[in-house]
Amino acid sequence: MPESNKMLLLALIVGLCSGLAAVVLKRSIHYVSMFLKSWFDGSSESWLYLVYPGLGMLVSFLFVRYIVKDNISHGVTKVLKAVAKHESRIKGHNVWSSLVSSSLTIGFGGSVGAEAPIVYTGAAIGSNLAQKLGLSYRNMTILLGCGAAGAVAGIFKAPLAGILFTLEILMFNISMTSIVPLLVSAVTATTVSFVCLGESVVFSNSIEAFNIRNIPFYIILGVVCGAFSLYFMRTTLFMEDKIRLIKRPYLRWLISALSLGLLIFLFPPLYGEGYDSLTSLLNNNTDQAIGTTIFGDILTNPWAIPIFFLAVLILKVLAMSFTNAGGGVGGTFGPTLIVGGLVGFVFSRVVNLAGGYDIPEANFTLVGMAGLMAGVMQAPMTAIFLIAEITGGYVLLLPLIIASVVSFATMRRFETYSIYTKRIANQGDLLTHDSDKAVLTLLKTADLIETDFISIEPQRYLRDLVNVIANCKRNIFPVVTSEGYFAGIILLDDIRHIMFDLSLYDTKQVSDIMVQPPAYVYEKEKMESVMKKFEDSKAWNLPVIDLEGHYKGFVSKSKIFFAYREQLQQVSHE
């Protein structure tokens, strides 16, 4: 079978499996939640909602710690790192482990989203199928992308959003012919989702037709979404880092569970994904969106409702962080939609109350979802078409574009990277759409070390060095101690004038004639840093050492250029 046909067939299989995985995840979350709620009725027993999220986090934590025995949180970031550093290879257990753990976390009421786990699952399906068939890195990456696209398309019934998500966030370099497998996978997964879950949109709504007079408000909403995107991203990363400083895992779980339970007790919309509350706002039903709350009559004040939801959107970020850091497994994708919708609702309600306007709150709630996603994920195209697909809100395509672009531009003034790429960019492991940097990121220094150099100890004499030279084809000789520590180098050109002076053979020690290299390369150093050292030093070969100073070999420009060309052939356009 021709390779192009084979990839289409494999994309179909991956799309089918990813779509089924998305259906299983949605059904599992639903059934777990229904089981927990089925044996009691009435708000008098709602205190159980304080216990359920923490219990779900604990069960998920124990499952991951003692059964999976691997870190499976932050699925999208893990996929990005797999493409950049692990040749698009994802471990086999990720085909099912994220499904189980996120079903428990969210089904019990954890305040996170199911989208990142399903992306990790879909990508794992594509990667593992490619590994079984022994496909190349490039084809393995395409199937990984097919799995991710199918996962997003399946869980949202949004094929175009699945493709755009993969192109904007996951895959740094792809040709037009490679897009076809993504299309096949996304459409297949969406079809599976339609068959199993019905043809209705994910978020039913009561939006109104677009009014061109509201464009200034949509522009302002875009700026507000950009500001809240910055808050969302920085607070999430800060909170998770701080909570994880608690080294005792059970204490970390206890603190997170109690904090999350308290937040949900005060603000019921924080329970679970929060999609029910968001759907209520999209249908102009604020009472149902609020649910049963201790604030009671306070919310009869017109200004109390936007203040209540402002508190919810601010605290949603904390609730999400407590869930993830406390042992739960979930993503930021869903909370981004929730916070964005709340930003749009609060903005429109405040405008209506303060200015005497009558702008449609459901419309602004919907557009706010796209605005925050564009800022937090740095993916405006995905935001525009995902929200249009999951709400059927194509009538608002123009305001979706306006708010998303403005939010994206606002966020970019303060943050170059998205919430998914920030950490791995700081580590130097991020692939970008810059082909040159992408290829350098894929190259590993440890794979390019040359070890066919003959070393000599510093206490040896010129006679010993001449004997080494006579039996070596290289013109560089590393000086290494008996303990393996790197001491210096000897260049053949530097000793030609004394090589044949017999009077120095037994008096001149190697330590007297060795020199220090212009730079050192560390065994696990990023290739971009290595190339800068070559550029600054003008050297053609540089010694490689580990962090303790032990000699490992040399790395050369010629070897790097050869590896660069080979890698470029794998990732370049066809």
Q: Where are the domains of the chain?
A: 3-197, 212-427, 438-571
574 confidence band (pLDDT: 50, 70, 90): very low
Residues paired with 543 in a beta bridge: 554
**Which residues face 30 on adjacent strands?**
none
Q: 381-416: per-residue pLDDT in tens?
A: 999 999 999 998 899 999 999 999 999 999 999 998
Q: What is the mean pLDDT of residues 456-475?
A: 87
- Give one DSSP letter per residue of 392-449, joined into a string: T-GGGHHHHHHHHHHHHHHHHTT-SS-TTTHHHHHTT----S-HHHHHHHH--GGGG-
> 212-427 adopts what CATH topology?
Clc chloride channel (1.10.3080)
Query: Mapping DSSP to helix (H, G, I), strand (E, B) and coil, where does residue 471 land?
Result: coil
CATH of 3-197, one of 1.10.3080.10, 3.30.450.20, 3.40.190.10, 3.40.50.1100: 1.10.3080.10
pLDDT at residue 424 is higher than 80: no
How large is the average pLDDT for residues 194-201?
89
Residue 282 has pLDDT above 50, yes or no: yes
The CATH number of the domain covering residues in 438-571: 3.10.580.10
309, 273 in Cβ contact below 8 A? no
The answer on pLDDT for 367 being more than 60 is yes
For the record, the structure tokens of 507 come out as: 């008096």
**Residues 404, 380 contacting (CB under 8 angstroms):** yes
Measure the CA–CA gap between 544 and 484, rounded to whole angstroms: 12
pLDDT above 90 (res 60): yes
Q: Does residue 439 surpass a pLDDT of 70?
A: no
Q: Which residues contact 404 (CB under 8 A, 6 or more apart)?
A: 222, 370, 371, 373, 374, 380, 383, 384
Given the structure tokens 């440890």, which residue do they identify? Answer: 446
Tokens standing for 296?
Answer: 């009671």
Question: Residue 560 in 3-state DSSP?
Answer: helix
Over residues 300-314, mean pLDDT: 92
State the Cα–Cα distance between residues 259 and 252, nearest whole angstrom.
Answer: 11
Hey, which bits of 21-172 come out as E strands?
none
Region 246-271: mean pLDDT is 91
All residues at 6 or more sequence positions from 438 whose CB lies less than 8 Å from its CB, including other chains:
172, 173, 431, 432, 571
Q: Is 41 exposed, middle or buried (0-12, 13-18, 19+ CB in 10 A)?
A: exposed
Are 3-197 and 438-571 equal in CATH topology? no
CA 311 to the chain's CA centroid: 27
Has residue 330 got a pLDDT over 70?
yes
What average pLDDT is seen over the chain? 88
For 469-528, what is each residue's pLDDT tens digit? 888 888 889 999 989 999 999 988 888 888 888 888 888 888 888 989 999 899 888 887
pLDDT exceeds 60 at position 44: no
Instruction: Output the pLDDT for position 438.
Output: 58
Q: Could you tell me which of 274, 349, 353, 339 has the C-alpha nearest to residue 311? A: 339
Both structure tokens of 294: 């201790």
Q: Which CA distances in Å does 205 have to 273, 334, 419?
A: 18, 18, 28
For 51-80, give the DSSP string.
Answer: HHHHHHHHHHHHHIIIII-S---SHHHHHH
pLDDT at 365: 96
The helix/strand/coil state of 499 is: coil
Judge contact between 286 and 277, C-beta under 8 A. no
Kindly report the pTM of this predicted structure: 0.79
**Among residues of the chain, what percentage have pLDDT more than 70?**
93
How much is the pLDDT for 430?
A: 59
Alpha helices per DSSP H over 471-555 = 492-495, 510-513, 527-537
What are the structure tokens assigned to 129, written together? 């199928």
Which of 55-59, 174-178, 218-222 has the least mean pLDDT? 174-178
Percent of the chain with pLDDT over 90: 54
pLDDT, residue 265, reads: 87
pLDDT at 235: 94
Residue 573: predicted pLDDT: 44
Distance of alpha carbon 223 from alpha carbon 367, whole angstroms: 12
Rounded-to-integer distance, Cα 439 and Cα 430, Å:
11
> Which phi and psi angles does 517 have, rounded to 5°?
-65, 160
Question: 121-130, 263-272, 527-536, 559-568 — which is least confidently predicted?
Answer: 559-568
Mean pLDDT of 367-374: 96
Rounded-to-integer distance, Cα 85 and Cα 440, Å:
11
